[in-house]
Structure 1
Amino acid sequence: MQAVATNLAGRRGNSVLFEDVSFTLGRGQALVVTGPNGAGKSTLLRILAGLLAADRGRFSLTGDDGADMPVSEFGHYLGHRNAMKRELGVSENLEFWKQFQKPESGTGLSIDAAIDAVGLAGVAHLPFGYLSAGQQRRIALARLLVGARPLWLLDEPTAALDKRSDQLFADLVRDHLSGGGMAIAATHQPLGLENVRSLELSGVHRAASASSGSWS
């Protein structure tokens, strides 16, 4: 399985935010995208998720047999917002996502197991809006677990998380990678992950090449 970006360029309105973004990820690999505010990190993630059209270039996800794997079916996108209904219970929100995502590559965790995996056992019955900002973000991470998909696209995934929850997030990503998954995360903060590739968007229209290294 591979995720391949070739000469991607993205814009906001009439302004080109980045260009010449190219990288290749395989099973068990992760890419961390960094850069100043306005450099295009969120735009890049949305292009990879298929939510925005690229100005130029191409992004593809292919299986081990070379067949195309649509990101809409084989990828999870977690943006700045948690994509949960405040009035619905935690379990109701996660049940919606479990049914909506209909994962092709596995069944994912049960609702209770996903909630437990993010350290929030006992909140399933509560309305999502009753939770603290950090708890809401952790339930949003649980959405990644109820539907097993190989590619995680994460935009500022640790926003609102405390130090303990940061470690929980890092453990979730490590487990995902060790199972053959892939992750691409845009962030301002260290994510506690080792031996991941990095890509810096410079904020002056041209992106540095993705490189190997660590992000701790």
Structure 2
Amino acid sequence: MLEIKSVTCVKQERCLFESLSFALDAGQIMQVEGPNGAGKTSLLRIIAGFANADDGDVTFEGYSISERYDDFAAELLFIGHKTGVNGQLTAYENVCHWLDVHGYQRAENIYDILAQLGLVGLEDVPVRTLSAGQQRRVALARLWMNNAKVWILDEPFTALDKKGVAMLQQQFMHQLDRGGAILLTTHQDLTAQFSGLKKVILEYRH
């Protein structure tokens, strides 16, 4: 499905990784591991098409994403380390805005999904008044409202409590069961929940 071919990334004259290659298949979850500064977020941004590699290529279903990025973007859901929510809008308005921007129809069950995410009674208050964990849940609501084949997630478990972690892991299962793929960074141990978990390990390079 998604193939990383001999990708190299250099930042401020330091090579983060060189000639890195791996593939992410349908129904597969893959975790990128490494110390701070190893280039985990840089790798995710390159694969998502938000940054250019210094060498190599990323292909999706056989084509280079640089040549047909709009096609790839239609099959991609990216959630970065920052929540990407608008603090002036409510949780409900944030979800509606995201759906509108990405061309999805507004689901009738938005309030139900926000309730599942533990935001009962908080759907219509400005997001800036919510805790970090609650803001993270607003951002993660996108995972319940899309049909993207590829999810790329940078530290999605940040600020979540145990219930939130379990709920997110269950949604991961749903994505994999329907033939989707997940690439993520996390400090969470996922080996017990996902027996088929693959890993890409980056080393800090001086």
User: What's the TM-score, normalizing by structure 1?
Assistant: 0.84
Query: In the superposition, relative to structure 1, how do residues 109 and 157 fare at CA in structure 2: closer, same or farther (>3 Å)?
Result: farther
Over 3 Å counting, the alpha-carbon distance change for 1:119 and 1:71 in structure 2 is farther
Q: How far apart are the structure 1 equivalents of 2:201 and 2:177?
A: 25
Instruction: Tell me the residue number matched to 1:98.
Output: 99
Superposition CA RMSD, Å: 2.2
Tell whether the 8 Å contact from 1:157 to 1:187 is kept in structure 2 after alignment.
yes
**Match of 2:200?**
199
Corresponding residue of 1:162: 161
* CA distance, structure 2, for counterparts of residue 58 and residue 107 of structure 1: 35
Alpha-carbon distance change, 20 to 136 in structure 1, aligned in 2, over 3 angstroms: same
Structure 1 residue identity aligned to 2:201: E
Is 2:173 aligned against 1:174?
A: yes
Offset of residue 114 of structure 1 = 3.0
Q: Contact 1:102–1:147 (CA<8 Å) still a contact in 2? A: no
* Matched-pair identity in %: 34
Q: Kindly state the Cα deviation for residue 108 of structure 1 after the two structures are TM-superposed.
A: 7.1
Letter in 1 for 2:100: Q
Please state how far the C-alpha of 1:69 moved relative to its aligned partner.
Answer: 7.3
List alignment gaps of at least 5 residues for structure 1: 206-216
Find the counterpart in structure 2 of residue 39 from structure 1: 38
Cα distance in 2 between the residues matched to 1:71 and 1:83: 21
Question: Counterpart amino acid of 1:119?
Answer: G
TM-score (norm 2): 0.88
Paired position in structure 2 for 1:29: 28
What SS is found at the alignment partner of 2:82? coil
> What's the CA shift for 1:181?
0.8
Q: Is the 8 A contact 1:9 1:56 kept in 2?
A: yes
User: Residue type matched to 1:89 in 2?
Assistant: T
8 Å CA contact retained: 2:16, 2:38: yes
Paired position in structure 2 for 1:122: 121
Q: Aligned AA for 2:13?
A: N
How many Å apart are 1:204 and its aligned residue?
Answer: 2.5
User: How many corresponding residue pairs?
Assistant: 199
d(CA) in 1 for partners of 2:179 and 2:8? 28
Q: Which runs of 5+ in 2 are unaligned?
A: 63-67
SS of residue matched to 1:135 = helix
Aligned to 2:135: 136
Q: Tell me: CA distance 1:71–1:107, structure 2 relative to 1, closer, same or farther (3 Å).
A: farther
